A and B are shown apart, each in its own frame.
Chain A
Amino acid sequence: MNESTNRTAGLRRLTRNPMFWGVIAIAVLLLLNLIKDPGYLAISVNPANGHLVGNLIDILRASAPVLMISLGMALVIATGGIDLSVGSIMAVAGATSMVFLKDAGSDPGSAFAALGLSLGLAAVLGFVNGALVAFVGLQPFISTLVMMLAGRGLAKVITGGQNTNAENGTFRWIANGYAIGIPVVFVLAILVVILVGFVVRRSALGLMVEAIGINPKASRMAGVKPRGILLAVYTLSGLLAGVAGTFAVSTVMTVDVSRTGYQLELDAILAVVIGGTALTGGKFSINGAVVGALLIATLNKTVLFLGISSSATPAFKAIVIVVLCLAQSERVRAWFVRRKQRSAESGPLPQTALLKLDRDRQEAGA
């Protein structure tokens, strides 16, 4: 009996962790694919060049841009803000690099110059967001909403309204190359995640970010300088959106000014919320954001694979967001707590039944 209560406590802790549900959702989606095509999960090695080939590898590759913007979004949301401009900044960064590479040569030098230029511009746009939020005191959603629409306009101005493509082997390698058999783009994304995670969690920075999200006034009184941190967080979010933008365009070496990064802010918000970062701020989980981004990539791929119209995905994601928001809301939680109490009050039988159910579920999971 004692052992079983321990076990259920552990299980409850596990089920409370939002990441657990993210992983379950990924597993369910993969299972769906597996039902349609039993060979879906197979990963083979291309004998000619040693690259890993398979649907899972494709998902990893596709998840890289979402990973980047979710990482930035997690930090921004933790401060109690929001960054609606990530998709547009992706388009700006993509447009900048493509227009630059179109005129520049196809040598590696110009690839790095294009990277530097587009990332720099993206960081500047993020900096503008941060300055508006931190120093002017604008509501985050207004300043980033302006940036979301103005950024899309900027991308169009940069390319002259045309979809622009370019050729550059080095730049193309970012998205299509392989390092030790794994797509370079995923390796880069994971490296960035580890770097940011290390800086944020191994220093007091993450704590300060969360402190601002919990109570800006109290954190200022405790000696946290919110302005510098807000500025840094929004700039980082812009920079990461720039990275995502170069990832996205380097796959096809074309920027589509009205489609690149379009509606990806929703993906980022969704990934972050799935990962257990509350939209009210004050808490973030980088691992959670990674799981969320992987889930989004799996979902996109599954929708395509199952032959559902890809234009339906935004509606579907919106519904998921609504459900998650409802799950986070006090009213629904209170309702669940009441239900649980009522079932606990109604005698020993239902409770043991619940325990049994938990045990069954755990065994099924194991």
Chain B
Amino acid sequence: MSGTMNAQATRPAGLTGLAKTAASFRRAATTNLAILPTIASVVIFVAMVVFGEVAYGRIVQVSTVSNLLINNAHLIVLAVGLTFVILTGGIDLSVGAIVAISSLSGVKLAQAGWPPALAILAMIGIGALFGLVSGILIQHFKVQPFIATLATMFLGRGLASLLSTQPERLSDESGVLWLATKWKVIDGPKVNDFIVTPGLLLAVVIVLLALFVLHRTRTGRTVYAIGGSESSAALMGLPVGRTKLLVYVISGTLAGVASVIYTARLGTAQNITGIGWELDAIAATVIGGTLLTGGFGYVLGSVVGALVLGLMTVLITRDGGIPPEMTTIITGGILLVFVLLQRVVTRARH
């Protein structure tokens, strides 16, 4: 019986790869309205690029692209972490504070003479620990996700303020800074070079890993199943509790990784680092098409969402007429618009 089913399932593989992808895209777009926000985010990104190129110029060039990627590598990592959490229908408000505490402790440890690799591991470990605390509160003690992560947010911020309220500098020869070494990949004319940093490559590796975990493993399918319906997932015998705990640990760990990338790029850490980043990360995820109610979304969508936010900052800087204080208002506005779009789409589905 299962043999014939396999035979049926493998028959469409006879199509060429390209046609198959096109067909699956068409099918997804027509049968599943929930993919609309992801498509919308790609459209918006392209529109912003075109608008920026027409209005300010010098947007479509390799140096702008590499700067956009390098400057937003940490946000991409945060958004990937939040994608896991939001896919299960949860939320993590603590990522910005985790970046602050982990980045400050990392710099302090490096100053105290820890080898860079150990300091980096400690930073990631702190993130994982905070994620674990939130996860235990949420999964084991049934505290609402936003309350539990709000508590860890204030805990992280408070502990960071305890460590130091001054900007702490990494020494110039610290090994942590290696992650921000600029490698020229394409040596363009003048300063128009395509540059990558180890930090950016780390972010790319994390995106690929997340893609693999979410779309090719049992854990990934459980994450989607929990978001679809937690009780159904439990009745199907999926490891709901373990997976819910895991997504918060992943989010915390990735916040630690993001703080490593950011600290290496900046060379300093402060207790007010990362204020409002939880909104940026949530916005990136939501703009990328992940439904806040869970169960639907793509990692690559979140990456596009993070790049939309990054490009927005670039455009605001280029414009010069908009005060930088407006950035959070605009981010909030965009987030609202996309959440509204989600409401419309999910209502249409039911």
Please tell me if the beta carbons of A153 and B326 are within 8 angstroms of each other in the complex.
Answer: yes
Please tell me if the beta carbons of B332 and A146 are within 8 angstroms of each other in the complex.
Answer: yes
Which of A147, A153, A280, A321 has a CB less than 8 Å from the CB of B327? A153
Please tell me if the beta carbons of B162 and A149 are within 8 angstroms of each other in the complex.
Answer: no
Within 8 A of B (CB), among A115-156: 132, 136-139, 141-143, 145-147, 149-150, 152-154, 156
User: Does B303 interact with chain A (Cβ within 8 Å)?
Assistant: no
Which of B148, B155, B276 has a CB less than 8 Å from the CB of A149? B276
**B-side contacts of A325, CB under 8 Å:** 137, 141, 143, 147-148, 151
Please tell me if the beta carbons of B158 and A137 are within 8 angstroms of each other in the complex.
Answer: no
Please tell me if the beta carbons of B328 and A149 are within 8 angstroms of each other in the complex.
Answer: yes
User: Does B85 interact with chain A (Cβ within 8 Å)?
Assistant: no
Which of A136, A141, A153, A309 has a CB less than 8 Å from the CB of B332? A153
The residue on B at minimum CB distance from A160 is: B323
Q: Which of A199-207, A282-290, A326-334 lies at the interface?
A: A326-334
Interface centre among A138, A309, A311 (most CB of B within 10 A): A311
**A-side contacts of B165, CB under 8 Å:** 311
Q: Which of A24-32, A176-184, A230-238, A312-320 lies at the interface?
A: A312-320
Please tell me if the beta carbons of B146 and A82 are within 8 angstroms of each other in the complex.
Answer: yes
User: Does B339 interact with chain A (Cβ within 8 Å)?
Assistant: yes
**B-side contacts of A239, CB under 8 Å:** none
A314 to B152, CA, bound (A): 10
The residue on B at minimum CB distance from A308 is: B162
How big is the B interface, by class? 35 or more
CB contact under 8 A between A153 and B155, given known A145-B279, A312-B162, A325-B148: no
Please tell me if the beta carbons of A321 and B151 are within 8 angstroms of each other in the complex.
Answer: yes
* B146 to A: closest C-beta gap in Å: 4
CB contact under 8 A between A266 and B154, given known A132-B336, A149-B331, A331-B141: yes
A332 to B136, CA, bound (A): 13
**B-side contacts of A313, CB under 8 Å:** 158
Judged by DSSP, the binding face of A is helix
Within 8 A of A (CB), among B23-82: none
The residue on B at minimum CB distance from A265 is: B150
User: Does B13 interact with chain A (Cβ within 8 Å)?
Assistant: no
Please tell me if the beta carbons of B93 and A332 are within 8 angstroms of each other in the complex.
Answer: no
Please tell me if the beta carbons of B158 and A318 are within 8 angstroms of each other in the complex.
Answer: yes
User: Does A157 interact with chain B (Cβ within 8 Å)?
Assistant: yes
Within 8 A of A (CB), among B313-330: 323, 325-329
* B201 to A: closest C-beta gap in Å: 31
A314 to B94, CA, bound (A): 14
* A236 to B: closest C-beta gap in Å: 21
**B-side contacts of A138, CB under 8 Å:** 339-340, 343
User: Does B192 interact with chain A (Cβ within 8 Å)?
Assistant: no
A227 to B135, CA, bound (A): 33
User: Does B111 interact with chain A (Cβ within 8 Å)?
Assistant: no
User: Does A99 interact with chain B (Cβ within 8 Å)?
Assistant: no
A217 to B340, CA, bound (A): 22
Query: A-contacting residues of B (Cβ < 8 Å)?
Result: 91, 93, 137, 140-144, 146-148, 150-155, 157-159, 161-162, 165, 271, 276, 278-279, 282, 292, 323, 325-329, 331-333, 335-336, 339-340, 343
Can you list 24 A-B contacts with CB-CB less than 8 angstroms, sorted by A residue number? A142-B282, A149-B276, A150-B331, A150-B333, A153-B329, A266-B150, A269-B150, A279-B143, A279-B147, A311-B158, A314-B155, A314-B157, A314-B161, A315-B154, A315-B155, A315-B157, A315-B161, A317-B158, A318-B154, A322-B155, A325-B143, A325-B148, A326-B137, A332-B141
